[in-house]
Amino acid sequence: MELKLIERGDFHELDCRNMVCPYPVIITKLAMQKVDRLEVLTNNPPSVRDIEKIAEKEGWRVEKRRDGEVWRIRIWR
């Protein structure tokens, strides 16, 4: 599993689509150590809840929206 961050404007995009728990959370935690503004893409609803929890626990702000089958979770500090 490779951590691929793509710079998209002010945020780095992390594509976690088609991954099941716990992988999106693990990869998001790793990415949070590298960047301050992250947009995570996932189509796994439990991951949306879990990513939001870990980000808020670490003091990051969270904004999420659903785009069809994909959730876009923006987190930043």
Report how far residue 16's alpha carbon sits from residue 40's, in angstroms, rounded to the nearest whole number: 7
> pLDDT per residue over 17-42, tens digit each?
999 989 999 999 999 999 999 999 99
Q: Is the pLDDT of residue 59 over 80?
A: yes
Q: Is the pLDDT of residue 1 over 70?
A: no
Which domain range does residue 26 map to? 5-76
- Edge-to-edge strand order for the sheet containing 70-76? 5-8, 11-15, 37-42, 70-76, 61-67
pTM for the predicted model, two decimal places: 0.94
Q: Under DSSP, is residue 24 helix (H, G, I), strand (E, B) or coil?
A: helix
Domain count for the chain, please give it: 1
56 or 21, greater pLDDT: 56
CATH of the domain at 12: 3.30.110.40
Q: For 50-68, what is the mean pLDDT?
A: 97
